[in-house]
Structure 1
């Protein structure tokens, strides 16, 4: 799994209804993380759990002295989780990225939902709609943007 975290003061996502062509807000949060989440074909429920533990415990929120020393849990933050298969883009050849490195929906949807369910156990969570056309609005705080890849998290333990 791959996650692009942005520390935000607020974030929201609107999704387009294919039948009516109308846009509606499906998720909104105040301070916390906007999480763009991609799922790879080899990911498992354990991958989702490992990634959520890392996200929830990252100390990138300011303490009373202005140092990044507090976690999402410590500050009572929220999470807006948006599915993002394009995090698996491969642009090494040519100018049109390939997305074959992303998991197919039958694998990705349950793992995206698992990640969201784990997050809901700890913080308020807003979401987009998997596979929908979406527009994300946010105010990046800092700015603080962190890239997490579970393959790299696994290698760092070895």
Structure 2
């Protein structure tokens, strides 16, 4: 019965903790992130080189700020619109000049008009170095992003670093 409870507790703890670095505290994890690559064992260095150089070595880096920016472009154009002015004058006309007649004088002129168009444009910007982080599912080890699934392969070496006090 006691063994069953112990196994149940171990399984429950394993289900809760998906962090392969759960044996390190936050400060030690930060020290591991910034650790000099040369302080790692030869086996770990070789492993990191193999993992990061397999495929695209930069694909595991993400930016924790937006890398696109929306800008508004405006374009104004001067146009001339032809307008007409109608000037009416009245003169006496008809029998004995007793009636009033209107006379229209049309004149045309060009009136300036500005037409502005607005367009939004999305541009990509590069991520500042201080905002580069490992993508989800990766962890930073000696300034290299490694898949969390690969950490068990070097966990023994990381425990040795931890026990030697190198990680603080």
* TM-score, normalised by the number of residues in structure 1: 0.24
Which structure has the larger Rg?
A: 2
* TM-score, normalised by the number of residues in structure 2: 0.23
Q: Looking at secondary structure, tell me which structure has more helix per residue.
A: 2
